[in-house]
Amino acid sequence: MAVMDICVGKGLILALFFFAVDGRRSGPIAVDHGPILEPEVVERISGPLFIVTFPGVIESGSEATLCASLLKPQEKLTMTISLLDERNVITPLVQQSSRMAFHRCFSFQAPQVDGELLQKLQVEVKGRVFKVTEERKVMFRRYLPLTFIQTETYL
């Protein structure tokens, strides 16, 4: 089930997921209601944490951005972010390995589609003794071009 926060006033749909490894999984997280996790909560969690943010709806063929954060790695971890289509064909987008915490944003080319296409964004975080895979849905949509005409008339 995708965790989505729809910010109507800002005109933004942002999908994100968060996973904390100490035997608990977090519930839905609102992006625009203050900090995602309080610092004292992060300190109590013993294992690695990761979060990946990306738009819930992406324009077909555009250059899209996703951001990934990794906190508290206890070994060298590799985060692999991929797209899965309806036939489970994997298209790798990003792979980042680190022994240290990081926050990075990455650009990728959205697939060209006619109409709409629903795919899954898969995140795998893997080390020697640690492995987690999470999937969330993302919509690719073709938008019709708009024409704006600007005149030099002053009111």
Share of the chain above pLDDT 70, in %: 70
Q: Where are the domains of the chain?
A: 4-141
Give the per-residue pLDDT at 36: 54
pTM: 0.68
How many Å separate Cα 24 from the centre of its chain?
20
For residues 57 and 26, the model is more confident at: 57
Which residues, in sequence order, are CB contacts of 72 under 8 Å at separation 6+?
Answer: 42, 45, 46, 47, 48, 49, 101
Average pLDDT of span 38-51: 73
Neighbours of 37 (CB within 10 A): 16
pLDDT at position 42 is 59
Whether 66 and 80 have beta carbons less than 8 Å apart is answered as no
How, if at all, do strands 57-59 and 131-141 pair?
parallel
pLDDT at 1 over 60: no
Per residue in 27-40, pLDDT (tens digit) is: 333 333 334 556 66
In which band, very low, low, confident or very high, does the pLDDT at 151 lie, cut at 50, 70 and 90? confident
pLDDT for position 127: 93
**CB–CB of 53/14 below 8 Å?**
yes
Mean pLDDT of the chain: 77
- Per-residue pLDDT band for 82 (boundaries 50, 70, 90) equals very high
**To which residue do tokens 């005409």 refer?**
149
* Nearest one of 94, 93, 44, 92 to 71, comparing CA atoms: 44
CA–CA gap between residue 104 and residue 70 (Å, rounded): 9
Q: How far is CA 60 from the centre of its chain?
A: 17
Q: What is the pLDDT of residues 93-113, one digit of tens each?
A: 999 999 999 999 999 999 999
Q: Does domain 4-141 have CATH number 2.60.40.3880?
A: yes
